[in-house]
Chains A and B, each alone.
Chain A
Amino acid sequence: MSSEANLPHDIPGANFSAAPQSRVADPEVLDTTHGPILYLEGVTVSFDGFKALNNLSLYIDDGELRCIIGANGAGKTTMMDVITGKTRPDSGSVFFGQTINLLELSETDIAQRGIGRKFQKPTVFEPLSVFENLELAMATDKRAWVSLFAKLTGEQRDRIDEVLTIIGLTTERQRRAGQLSHGQKQWLEIGMLLMQNPRVLLVDEPVAGMTAQEVERTAELLLSLGGRHSVVVVEHDMEFVRSIANIVTVLHEGSVLAEGSMSKVQNDPRVIEVYLGE
């Protein structure tokens, strides 16, 4: 557990003048020396008086696989929107590492800094092959005239092959993405996120609509990402959450209701009352 004192407070740049022994803080560089990679503190978002997020505080450690559960309207999607810059909170602070204030960055900037998001509905480029989908998603120079003459280097090919292996679509590399099954499209989309070398992956309901076998494969895939990437999974499927979760956060009415291991959370009377008990 990280102690309260380590965390940056409301004012961006407050940690510039913090401990004298710390090296000069560069807001461009991701600094996770204190453990967490993502800090949400006192975040409140209201839509027409309805508080979608209510003083939410959440810390995600570097390399951690975290599951977030909660009933409909608990604020899961709004939380993702805040992290990715789609929605701006009314109050609170959101930091990426120690120094990068996400509230000052645009959606594209946040994506380029290394926070990738997978939406509920898979959107891959259907007319292109699996390989080409990954090629386009790769973190490279994406200006138009550069693309005209772009050639894949050996290293880049290796990277694509590596991701193909991770998502288990090596044999499908030349198939058109439009011909893939629903589950395969979801994996391809995760692969496209991985091509951008993200530090944090936000994954919204990855197993919705999947067969039991596909759910199992997805669990393996997400587990294999731990360590190298921090993964935040929002999911309804309790069976799935149980199979992958290390730490589970339960959201309720816009704030954290409980947090801890699956068994601890499941036995929490408040959680049983508002969510699991139903």
Chain B
Amino acid sequence: MRTHNSLISKLVQSDRGGSVLLALLGIAMVLVPLLNLAVPESSALHLSTYTMTLLGKYLAFALLALALDLVWGYCGILSLGHGAFFALGGYAMGMYLMRQIGERGVYGNAELPDFMVFLNWQELPWYWFGFDQFWFAMLMVVVVPGLLAFAFGWLAFRSRVTGVYLSIMTQALTFALMLAFFRNEMGFGGNNGLTDFKDILGFDLQADTTRAGLFVASALALALGYLLSRFVVNSKFGRVIVALRDAESRARFIGYKVEMYKVGLFVFSAMLAGIAGALYVPQVGIINPGEFSPLNSIELVIWVAVGGRGTLYGAVLGALLVNYAKTYFTGAFPEIWLFALGALFVLVTILLPRGVIGVLRRKQAETAT
């Protein structure tokens, strides 16, 4: 445990934002379930299950934002399709949850999910095999997005596709996946997606304790994801990706196989996004092709831009801020949310090129001098 602690402290050494983030996550991991489960509902301090689940959802989004910041903020790869990896991770989790329903579905078929019975399918497609096992599904949560990112990155980065062209390709990727998943024949529930989940690892998904467990899992995943990402950007690997962001041909000339660095980073980022998706799905109770929508991926870019890219914790902050605003606005003034989002992006790009974190840092520098 001691070596463990020193490893963490070494990673967040001279990383104040990261230390604050980890401390807050630690507090939330204890406090949020406590306020929900131990404090009686009549008390003013009670935290509703709805709020706890909402917070858990924000944390999953924060992990997704972290994943994007790695490739965009540090390596300059503006992916407009990171929602695809998130959705794939979500589908892998959704498939496990579907298999868990078993005989409790509307049609009572122990083997086939309801939508397959409805389509008159006789047997489970091969790609659904294994998803009744939790470990296998969790493996697929990282393997499927990772493989897609590898195949995409291998082709794109080796052909030296960069900049706007790459962004457009990632956008096309997620759009193509959305269209594919909308089709019933794909075997992922068509436009209804996967839903009506009952339990996870035998725990009732509607139970407060399960929701609390999912919240803690999300906070833990974000903390670990943060530490892993910090490890990557602090390493020599991290310095190489920053170097090639601004002077790619120079890095190549020095002898770095630039495309291998980009592919490696892209795959790692996609895996983090997949995990975020897998945490998101049991908390919201549904995954459908809408998650592949290009708009989602663009919103994600706004989160990172608002928080401040290239800092990791900025992305987390941005995801929390924008999603809180979204929850508020879509409740209070649903019709203006999209305009507000658009305005936010324009304003941040013009006024706060380094995001909220950039403003905080400047304030700090001013008070220091």
Contacts and interface: CB of A to CB of B under 8 A. Distances in A.
B255 A111 contact: yes
B227 to A, nearest CB: 14
Interface residues of A, number: 25
Given A136-B254, A137-B254, A150 B236 contact: yes
Interface in A128-163: 128, 132, 135-137, 139, 142-145, 147-150
Nearest to B249: A123
Interface in A101-145: 107-108, 111-112, 123-128, 132, 135-137, 139, 142-145
Given A126-B246, A143-B260, A112 B239 contact: no
B255 A142 contact: yes
Contacts of A137: 254
A144 B254 contact: no
B254 to A, nearest CB: 5
A192 interface: yes
B240 A136 contact: yes
Contact of A128 (B232, B239, B252, B260): B239
Contacts of B243: 125, 127-128, 136
Contacts of B247: 123-126
Interface string B217-247: 0000000000000001001110110110111
Contacts, number: 68
Contact of B246 (A125, A135, A143): A125
A184 interface: no
A203 B329 CA distance: 60
A148 B237 contact: yes
A150 B236 CA distance: 6
Interface string A175-196: 0000000000000000010001
Interface string B239-270: 11011011100111111110011001000000
A144 B239 contact: no
Interface residues on B, range: 20 to 34
A132 B237 contact: no
Contacts of A139: 255
Given A123-B247, A136-B243, A143 B257 contact: yes
A200 to B, nearest CB: 16
Contacts of A144: 237, 240, 257, 260-261, 264
Nearest to B263: A144
Contacts of A143: 257, 260
Contacts of A142: 254-257
The interface residues of chain A, by DSSP majority, are classed as: helix
B235 A150 contact: yes
B255 A147 contact: no
Interface in B70-128: none
Interface in B313-363: none
A129 to B, nearest CB: 9
Contacts of B256: 136, 142
Nearest to B258: A144
A125 B253 contact: no
A249 B193 CA distance: 75
A127 B264 contact: no
Contact of A125 (B232, B250, B264): B250
A147 B237 contact: yes
Determine which residue in B253, B254, B256 has the highest number of CB atoms from chain A within 10 A of its CB, and name it. Answer: B254
A143 B261 CA distance: 8
A31 B255 CA distance: 24
Nearest to A127: B242
A48 B258 CA distance: 33
Interface in A228-257: none
A135 B254 contact: no
Interface in A19-36: none
A141 to B, nearest CB: 10
A96 B96 CA distance: 62
B61 to A, nearest CB: 27
A135 B264 contact: no
A107 to B, nearest CB: 8
A85 to B, nearest CB: 12
19 contacts: A111-B253, A123-B247, A124-B247, A126-B246, A127-B242, A128-B243, A132-B239, A135-B236, A136-B239, A136-B240, A136-B243, A142-B255, A142-B256, A144-B237, A144-B260, A144-B261, A147-B236, A148-B235, A149-B235
Lowest 4 A-B CB distances belong to which pairs? A125-B243, A147-B237, A150-B236, A147-B236
Interface of B: 232, 235-237, 239-240, 242-243, 245-247, 250-257, 260-261, 264
Given A125-B242, A192-B254, 18 more contacts: A108-B252, A108-B253, A108-B255, A111-B253, A124-B250, A126-B246, A127-B243, A132-B239, A136-B236, A137-B254, A142-B254, A142-B255, A143-B257, A144-B264, A147-B237, A147-B261, A148-B232, A149-B235
